[in-house]
Amino acid sequence: MSAYPDALARLIEELGRLPGVGEKTAERMAIHLLRAPQAEALALADAIRAVKESIRVCALCATLTDRERCGVCEDPARDRDLLCVVEQPNDMWALEKVGAFRGLYHVLGGRIAPLDGVGPEQLTLGRLVERVRGGAVREVILATNPTLEGDATALYVQRALAPFGSKLTRIARGIPAGSTLEYASRMILTDALEGRRAL
Amino acid sequence: MAAIKTPALTVGRIDYSETSQIVTFFAREHGKVKAIAKGAKRKKSAFEGALDLLALNEIVFLERGGDGLSILTACVMRDGFPELRRDLDRLNTALWIVELLSELTVEGVAHPELFDQAVATLAALARGAWHPLSLSRFEAQALGHLGFAPRFAGCAGCRRSLDGEERVVFSCRLGGGLCRACRAGHEGVFPVAPGTLALADGLAAGRVTALDRVRVAEPTLADLRRLLTRYIASLAGREPRMLRYVT
């Protein structure tokens, strides 16, 4: 039998389900919430409820949004001829933080990993094909992760989009800026040499 | 726990926690090894890209005690077969080889000849030195290394030669072809041409070496692929996941 009152025990149990949160951390969080002003604790509860009730998939690019279409898709200043394909909304948000890309996105919702039972039909590939089939996309940048599954996904998307005439490109890979060749791995060095460009 | 250093192919990995992964290797001297790679998902992981599927690595692990996981302490990539990542068909073929190694081997049982053959086959695939029979040869010989060699020559029922039989059937349960007299009463059998069995026998026994001099008709090739993949699926006990992607 738990020494905690039932409501507190339940809160600790629920917080303990969060990624990276162990039993002791969950206890500390729960005690903190218990001691916090009521408005502060309820604001957290409201935020969780709002996220669960309002977040949905963008009707165009399949990222997460709280409207029919996300802010990027609705932005008239965006280059609508340029499409960047990413695996997850997190990847899109990472690129948006950099602020270097002014086109639109398409979120696949994962990557093809046949050995894990994830096939192309579980991604938003059909919707991507429909977007490109329209013919208004000048270039599609395949920005899936440089892992084996990410590369496989990029190859699959490349094959699916090849008939439509858009320019297909893959994000560059190689040595990160600020690092040194001496400490780069074999794979990174191979990528960097193969992806060299003329000056 | 003793530290063991060995060449190994990465054949599987799953997330274990926020930062760690459980990686399955097919190691030359130790067979299948499951090891926890602590911190593998951290930005500054010591393993970097070496844990990606298909990579040929030099690994160091602390062998598990009892039923516990081994602990991966070092993993240096020797070859990531980057050429395979530029061609979807070749990549799918390589992943089929990985699935075969992962599904048909057991932990702690070494198959050094199979390891060498798998590495050589992946390297040939990466180089483009590939023949329509290359994959079937690997599969047929791999089955032999694993102790699952089917009886391609002679009837699996009466042991008599299948010479002269126009059409025989193959039984996955018996692991061989059946003549007309023996096939009655066997369920789950499928037809196969005697010539296909003879070709599979030659590939498995290593008699067909210079593949570039071999010409095989398309129906025979399709028959051979069906024979080997159905037999492998029966050994695995389920439809292999990569099968639908391998041409």
**pLDDT for position B48:** 67
H/E stretch holding A167 reads strand A167-170
| Pair B86, B24 in one domain | yes
Full domain range(s) for residue B229: 134-245
Q: Nearest chain B Cα to A151, which residue?
A: B85
* Segments of B82-230 assigned E as strands: 168-171, 176-178, 190-192
Whether A146 shows a pLDDT value over 70: the answer reads yes
Q: State the CATH number of the domain containing residue B82.
A: 2.40.50.140
pLDDT digits (tens, 9 = 90+) for A85-98: 999 999 999 999 99
Q: Which helix (H) or strand (E) holds A84?
A: strand A79-86
Are B108 and B198 contained in the same domain?
no
Q: Output the pLDDT for position B246.
A: 87
| Domain's final residue, options B85, B108, B127 | B127
pTM of the complete model: 0.86
My answer on whether B101 and B189 are in the same domain is no
Query: Do B121 and B182 fall into the same domain?
Result: no
Model confidence at A68: pLDDT above 70: yes
Q: How many Å apart are CA B7 and CA B25, to the nearest integer? A: 9
Residues of chain B above pLDDT 90, percent: 55
pLDDT at residue B34, rounded to an integer: 93
Residues of A in contact with B52 (CB under 8 A): 147-148, 187
Q: Do B95 and A186 touch (CB under 8 A)?
A: no
Where does the pLDDT of residue B67 fall: very low under 50, low under 70, confident under 90, or very high at 90 and above?
A: low
Q: Provide the pairing of β-strand A167-170 with B3-15.
A: unpaired
Q: What is the pLDDT of residue B164?
A: 81
> How many angstroms separate the CA of residue B185 from the nearest CA in chain A?
36
Q: Are B111 and B27 contained in the same domain?
A: yes
Q: Which residue of A has its CA nearest to B18?
A: A20
Q: What is the pLDDT of residues A42-64, one digit of tens each?
A: 999 999 999 999 999 999 999 99
Question: Of chain A residues 147-166, which have a CB less than 8 A from chain B?
Answer: 147-149, 151-152, 155-156, 158-159
Shared-domain flag, residues B122 and B139: no
Dump pLDDT digits (tens) for B85-143: 999 999 999 999 999 999 999 988 999 999 999 999 999 999 998 998 999 999 999 99
Q: Is pLDDT of B227 > 90? A: yes
The beta-strand segments (E) located in chain B are: 3-15, 21-27, 31-37, 56-62, 70-79, 168-171, 176-178, 190-192
Sheet of B168-171, strand order: B176-178, B168-171, B190-192
Question: Which residues in A lie closer than 8 A to residue B82 (C-beta atoms)?
Answer: 187, 190-191, 194
A139 vs B: CB within 8 A:
no
Does B18 lie at the interface with A, CB-CB under 8 angstroms? yes
Residues B221 and B149 in one domain: yes
**Nearest CA-CA partner of B179 in B153, B148, B205, B203:** B153
- Smallest Cα distance from A77 to chain B, Å: 34
Can you list the alpha helix ranges (DSSP code H) found in chain A? 6-15, 23-35, 38-54, 71-74, 89-98, 125-133, 148-161, 186-194
Last residue of a domain, one of B62, B95, B127: B127
Q: Minimal Cα–Cα distance from B68 to chain A, Å?
A: 22
Please answer yes or no on whether A187 and B88 come within 8 Å at the CB atom: no
- Tell me the per-residue pLDDT of A130-144, one tens digit each, with 9 for 90 and over: 999 987 899 999 999
- For an interface test with B, the pick among A21, A90, A149, A187 (most B C-beta atoms closer than 10 Å) comes out as A187
Give yes or no: residues B157 and B114 share one domain: no
pLDDT at A1: 58
A90 touches chain B (CB under 8 A): no
- Stretch B209-235: mean pLDDT, rounded? 90
pLDDT above 90 covers a percentage of chain A that reads 77
| B91 vs A147, A152, A188: nearest CB | A152
Kindly report which listed range (A25-39, A118-132, A169-183, B117-131) carries the lowest average pLDDT score: A169-183
Q: Would you state the pLDDT for residue B209?
A: 78
Is it the case that residue B187 has pLDDT exceeding 90? no
- Asked if the interface predicted TM-score (ipTM) of this complex is over 0.95, the answer is no
> Sorting pLDDT into bands at 50, 70 and 90, what band is B65?
low
Residues of chain A with Cβ-Cβ distance to B50 below 8 Å are 185, 187
Q: Which of B127, B158, B189 is the last residue of a domain?
A: B127
Q: What is the mean pLDDT of residues B26-31?
A: 94
What's the gap in Å between the CA of B186 and the closest CA on chain A? 32
User: Within this chain, do residues B229 and B115 fall inside the same structural domain, yes or no?
Assistant: no
How many angstroms separate the Cα of A106 from the Cα of each of A124, A132, B164? 9, 11, 60
How many domains, chain B? 2
Cα B55 to Cα A151: distance, rounded to the nearest angstrom = 14
CATH at B146:
1.20.1440.120
Question: How much is the average pLDDT of B230-239?
Answer: 92
Asked if B106 and B142 sit in the same domain, the reply is: no
The label of the residue with tokens 């694993």 reads B146
Residues B139, B66 within the same domain: no
Identify the pLDDT of residue A181.
87
Confidence band for A103, pLDDT divided at 50, 70 and 90: very high
Which of A26-30, B20-24, B39-43 has the weakest average pLDDT? B39-43
Same-domain pairing of B87 and B103: yes
